[in-house]
Chain A
Amino acid sequence: MVFKFGSKPGLLVRAPDGTLHAYNAVCTHLECTVQYKSDTSQIWCACHNGMYDLEGNVVSGPPPRPLERLAVNLRGEDVVISRA
């Protein structure tokens, strides 16, 4: 899911092992907002077809760097996301 993180969009994804990962949802290529692509279980930027894995690493396409990772903490039912 995409959420508001300060003035930027954030992305929260659940990996197959159940762990939660959060990223600054801004593509490192030209700053489009990335999204989860369910058919390939990857993070995708629709602008220039950049692909990241669920760890935020670049898999293919033009992005030069991994996504900026955010810290995820669980407090009971709440998911608290902060700068890593």
Chain B
Amino acid sequence: MAQLVDWVDQRLDLSGIRHFIAEKGVPIHTQKIWYYLGGMTLFLFVVQVASGILLLLYYRPSASEAYESVQFIVTQVEFGWLIRNIHSWSANLLILAAFAHLFSVFFLKAYRKPRELTWISGALLLFLMLGFGFSGYLLPWNELAFFATKVGTGIAGAVPLIGRPLLRFLRGGDDVTGATLSRFYALHVAILPAITTALVAVHLLFVQRQGMSVPIKQARELRAGKPLKHMPFFPDYILRDVLVWYMALAVLAALAAFYPWELGRKADPFAAVPAGIRPEWYFLAMFHTLKLVPSHVLGFEGERLGVMAFGIAAALLVAVPFLDRRASRDESSPWFTAAGIAVVIYLVAFTIIGYLAS
């Protein structure tokens, strides 16, 4: 092994990498546990890529074959059921980890100067993950997926001004058909992975370039001359990271083995919507909110207002580092903390209510 490294070193000069490995440290403080969430999200993304590639070997993206091909995967292909369950469960855990990562970064105010771009790339990655969830949900072409896509693309259609063209672009026509399935397939296995991979690289580059953020309190102490302890990234921190990945893998394996992901019935565009229909849990808060918005508010159609409100919320999320001026001066910003708590309470409460109501 040492000979191989020497061989490569003589040709590519690995001194930069060696220096980086030797120097890289992770700050030690009471909140350091939250650092693991980013790595866990990345690990689950890798699981998604690997299990997704395996599913691609047998999946057929057409309205007449998609459902049957997934049925074939889970009943005939060796360990196909396990791969599909892993892909479905890992998708959910990935979004959960991404949300947890986002909120931990938010509450630690790690978005503050100079890490605004890291936050923006992370927020965009979360939207991409939701895009993965939405596009992947349709691929088995079952009843729930069909209507969830109808509603989801219908929401896109309610976007002011560009709604109708956007809806037609997403569906590949006026209705959810095989053309929609082809588009979502392309989106899910090619377009989104390409964008996500590039953005993950950028996100990681920013993190490596700037190092880990420390909470405001520790940053102030550091400026006052109080030293902050560091742990070497290699091997101390990376081993802890791997341990957390291993735990995530254990949870994932247990869920995939004991709680199979249902395939349901094949989509029938002319069937009535089954009672109790609801989207995946990460869209439930939005789904339930749109359920409660009256048909008309101050002369405007309620759904358009709801969609606009979610659009504004997404824009505000991206803009957080520029709105929270106090945090960028290393001052505490309790209003932002309170807003974050309110958002978490809203998301959790509406997700639970949405789950119970449907």
Contact = CB atoms under 8 A, between A and B. Distances in A.
A27 to B, nearest CB: 8
B276 A32 contact: no
Tier of interface size on chain A: 20 to 34
A62 B291 contact: yes
Interface string B242-276: 00000000000000000000000000011111111
B150 A48 contact: no
Contacts of A30: 150-151, 154-155, 157-158, 290, 303
Contacts of B295: 29, 58, 61-64
Contacts of A31: 150-151, 154, 157
A3 B272 CA distance: 10
Contacts of B273: 32-35, 45-47
Nearest to B272: A35
Output the residue of A30, A34, A35 with the most chain B CB within 10 A: A30
A47 B274 CA distance: 9
Nearest to A10: B270
Is the contact region of chain A dominated by helix, strand, or loop, or is it mixed? loop
A73 to B, nearest CB: 22
A84 B71 CA distance: 42
A18 to B, nearest CB: 23
Nearest to A30: B154
B311 to A, nearest CB: 16
A62 B295 CA distance: 4
A49 interface: yes
A40 interface: no
A62 B290 contact: yes
B357 to A, nearest CB: 8
Output the residue of B175, B276, B295, B303 with the most chain A CB within 10 A: B295
Contacts of B287: 48
B277 interface: yes
Contacts of A49: 291
A19 interface: no
Output the residue of A9, A31, A32 with the most chain B CB within 10 A: A31
B162 to A, nearest CB: 17
A2 B154 contact: no
B296 interface: yes
A8 interface: yes
Contacts of B174: 7
Interface string B277-290: 10000000001001
B31 to A, nearest CB: 40
B293 interface: yes
Contact of A46 (B157, B277, B294): B277
B134 interface: no
Contacts of B271: 2, 9, 33
Contacts of B293: 62
Contacts of A64: 295-296, 301-303
8 closest A-B pairs by beta carbon, nearest first, are: A35-B272, A30-B154, A46-B273, A31-B154, A48-B291, A64-B295, A64-B301, A9-B270
Interface of A: 2-4, 7-9, 25, 29-35, 45-49, 58, 61-64
Interface of B: 147, 150-151, 154-155, 157-158, 174-175, 177, 269-277, 287, 290-291, 293-296, 301-303
23 contacts: A2-B271, A9-B269, A9-B272, A29-B154, A29-B295, A29-B303, A30-B150, A30-B154, A30-B303, A31-B154, A31-B157, A33-B147, A33-B271, A33-B272, A34-B272, A48-B287, A48-B291, A62-B294, A62-B295, A63-B295, A64-B296, A64-B302, A64-B303
Given A4-B270, A9-B272, 14 more contacts: A3-B270, A30-B150, A30-B155, A30-B157, A31-B151, A32-B150, A33-B271, A46-B272, A46-B276, A48-B151, A49-B291, A61-B295, A62-B303, A64-B303
